[in-house]
Amino acid sequence: MNILAFGPNGSGKGTQGAIVHKKYHIPHIESGAIFREHIGGGTELGKKAKEYIERGDLVPDDITIPMMIERLQKDDCKEGWLLDGFPRSKDQAITLANNLKDAGIELDYVIEIVLDRQISKERIMGRRLCVNDNNHPNHIAFDAIKPVEKDGKLVCRVCGGELKTRADDQDEGAIDKRHNIYYDEQTGTMAAVNYFKQAGGPK
Q: Is 157 a catalytic residue?
A: no
C-alpha dihedral, 115 to 84 to 121 to 183, nearest 10°? -70
At residue 76, the 3 state secondary structure works out as helix
Q: Would you call 127 a catalytic residue per the annotation?
A: yes
Helices (H), strands (E): how many in the chain?
8, 8
- The answer to whether residues 36 and 65 touch, using CB atoms and an 8 Å cutoff, is no
Pick the catalytic residue from 71, 121, 157, 178. Answer: 178
- In the annotation, is 13 catalytic? yes
Q: Is 50 a catalytic residue?
A: no
Catalytic residue among 71, 121, 127, 157: 127
Alpha carbon 28 to its chain centroid, in Å, reads: 9
Catalytic site residue from 13, 71, 121, 123: 13
Q: What is residue 18's three-state secondary structure?
A: helix
Choose, from 36, 166, 177, 197, the residue flagged as catalytic.
166
| Residue tagged active-site, from 88, 90, 121, 157 | 88
Please say whether the beta carbons of 86 and 92 come within 8 A.
yes
**Known catalytic residues?**
13, 88, 127, 166, 178
